[in-house]
Amino acid sequence: MPTGTDRPAPRRVRLDPDGPVLVEGPVEVELPDGTTVSSDRFMVALCACRRSRRYPFCDTSHRRKPRRRPPAPS
Ligand code: FES
């Protein structure tokens, strides 16, 4: 069992409320069909809006069409 001193630093994941999930790379992403894709980038943007043509990676398509927010309760 690893001690506190030999544990790797936790990988930081940042959630953009209107955009991608930013993950410190490199990463290997397993898709629902079992295939994997990888990126060696320092920071990897994973699409959370499902509009990307490069899914699972963000291609900034989320910027062109903002996600609709539910109406505020009255
Ligand atoms: S989050 Fe950027 S294209 Fe989906």
Q: Which residues of 28-48 are buried (b: 16+ CB within 10 A; e: fewer)?
A: eeeeeeeeeeebeeeebbbbb
59 ligand 1 Cβ < 6 A:
yes
Q: Is any atom of ligand 1 closer than 6 Å to the C-beta of 56?
A: no
Specify if 6 maps to a domain: no
- 33: confidence class by pLDDT, cuts 50, 70, 90: very high
pTM (two decimals): 0.76
Q: Would you say residue 4 lies in a domain? A: no
Q: What's the rounded mean pLDDT across residues 33-46?
A: 96
- Our count of domains for the chain comes to 1
Residue 34 lies in a domain: yes
* Domain region containing 59: 13-64
Residue 2 lies in a domain: no
Q: Is residue 71 part of a domain?
A: no
